[in-house]
Amino acid sequence: MNTKPNLHIVWLKRDLRLYDNEAIFNAISSGKRVLLLYAFEPLLINDDHYSQRHWDFIKESIVDLNEELKTYNSKVLTVNADIIVTINQILTNYQVTNMYSHQETGILITYNRDKSFKRYCKNNLINWHENINNGVQRGLKNRDKWLELCNMFYEMEPLPFSPDENQLLSIEEINELEKNFKIPSLETNSNKPFQKGGRQMGLKYLNSFFEERYINYMFHISKPELSRSSCSRISPYIAWGNLSVREVYHQAFKLKKTSKHKKALEAFMSRLRWQSHFVQKFEMEHTMEEASINKGFHKLKKSISQEYQTAWKTGKTGYPLVDACMRCLNETGYLNFRMRALVVSFFTHNLWQPWQEATTHLSQMFLDFEPGIHFPQLQMQAGETGINMLRIYNPIKNSLEHDPDAEFIKKWVPELKNLDTVFIHQPYLMTELEQQFYNFKLGIDYPKPIVDVNITRKKATDTLWNMRDDALVKKERLRILKKHTTANT
């Protein structure tokens, strides 16, 4: 007879919140004692898609969770170990009959890990309950019923967090468990210029957005500098689960009833739904991580240039807006949507590099890296889906339209800030005499353009449009439309 105390475990992944967390809600509803667990898994720590900024954000989120859990005399058991090793160790102290987590739409390495963990649970008589996350449905063959299911999910009230007294494992009990593990330090450098993780910080951004910042949302959404304050800036808190999409949607819906700026809120709410749409696409076709969703584009071959890629990564392409965007992203972890599209367009079309070569640098830099957004968006901007409009962003046109006074460029490419505005946008227009006047040497103080965007744009346009007439591209286009769209998407 097993005399070990029974324990239900919630395995936290990208759902670092207590409120509106279905896994936690269901575990608590069982009436059994519950342990909240986060594992810093070596297989992910060592994966090229992630960087220290992500782990720091997660640590800050756990610190925030632990602060909230003090009320219940509990905390998150946080360990440095793979999940199977972790559960094996816990089994020496407790009888674990049920595990809870959300259904993760992650990269291939987490998909394979989950398959191994499912076998492990079966072999150890553990029931693993995986719950829907942000309306994404597992196992769908097409989108025929997705919109209905997604709407039902959004319409439900966010789930409360209300454990019974002493239901959560106590801090003292968790301290005993920690003696069996390598415990990570949760300290982070507070001076780094990234948004800080945690639900309380996420709510702070959300509340300030709904109080006044959203008013200029539609007007500033494409502006590289103004969008930094007029957009919600909650994407990292959605990506790592400090906030649920549903609770944000509910708050926006409630505000819309009394707001004078309904169109701004409608635009914001539609983008919340886009989040679910793109993650659903990746959930249904995970091969997008490594190959274009449209198999007709697999025959597209591009020569890899490390020189081009290094110039792009470091913000030294000779195109000021592109360089400002890349330097800003590297430093702060954030760019607005249009500028993200622009830097990918420049990489894949003007530099003519495979989109796969951009995946890990961008995922490491984006503080809000979400696999289900990342890979579909990369392919869409690269023009390799066969169903989306081909968009090749002109860096000069976008610079003049969206940063007319060059404030964003001057901030991130300071070597140009003493030039007249026209030359900040296009420094290569300067004559030798003008360079002497400004005490500025093109090619030394700032790079000459590494490509001619007019020539490279034409090559990319001609090549990609011609490929859209390819028989396999057309066949795949019909398959993709049938699988991933409905009459309403």
One pLDDT digit (tens) per residue for the chain, 489 residues = 568 999 999 999 999 999 999 999 999 999 999 999 999 999 999 999 999 999 999 999 999 999 999 999 999 999 999 999 999 999 999 999 999 999 999 999 999 999 999 999 999 999 999 998 888 888 888 888 888 888 898 899 999 999 999 999 999 999 999 999 999 999 999 888 999 999 999 999 999 999 999 999 999 999 999 999 999 999 999 999 999 999 999 999 999 999 999 999 999 999 998 888 889 899 999 999 999 999 999 999 999 999 999 999 999 999 999 999 999 999 999 999 999 999 999 999 999 999 999 999 999 999 999 999 999 999 999 999 988 889 999 999 999 999 999 999 999 999 999 999 999 999 999 999 999 999 999 999 999 999 999 999 999 999 999 999 999 999 999 999 999 987 544
Which residues contact residue 151 at a Cβ distance below 8 angstroms, ignoring those fewer than 6 apart? none
Which residues contact residue 321 at a Cβ distance below 8 angstroms, ignoring those fewer than 6 apart? 224, 339, 342, 395, 396, 398, 399, 403, 408, 409, 425
3-class state of residue 57 by DSSP: helix
* Dist. CA 280–CA 407, nearest whole Å: 37
* Dist. CA 298–CA 81, nearest whole Å: 37
Domain boundaries, the chain: 6-133, 199-283, 289-484
3-class state of residue 369 by DSSP: coil
What is the pLDDT at residue 489? Answer: 46
Q: How many helices (H) and strands (E) does the chain have?
A: 24, 5
Which pairs count as long-range contacts for 399-407, CB under 8 Å and 24+ apart, including other chains?
Answer: 399/320, 399/321, 399/425, 400/425, 402/222, 402/223, 402/224, 402/338, 403/223, 403/224, 403/225, 403/321, 403/324, 406/320, 407/225
* Dist. CA 60–CA 65, nearest whole Å: 9
Alpha-carbon torsion 409, 410, 414, 416, what sign? Answer: positive
Neighbours of 32 (CB within 10 A): 14
What is the pLDDT at residue 1? Answer: 56
CATH 3.40.50.620 fits 6-133, yes or no: yes
* Dist. CA 353–CA 358, nearest whole Å: 8
Question: pTM above the 0.75 mark?
Answer: yes
**Which CATH code for domain 289-484?**
1.10.579.10
3-class state of residue 168 by DSSP: strand
Which residues are 95's β-sheet partners? 6
Tokens of 346: 């420049």
Exposure pattern of 178-191 as b/e (b: 16+ CB <10 Å)? eeebebbeeebeee
Q: Is it true that 6-133 and 289-484 share their CATH fold?
A: no
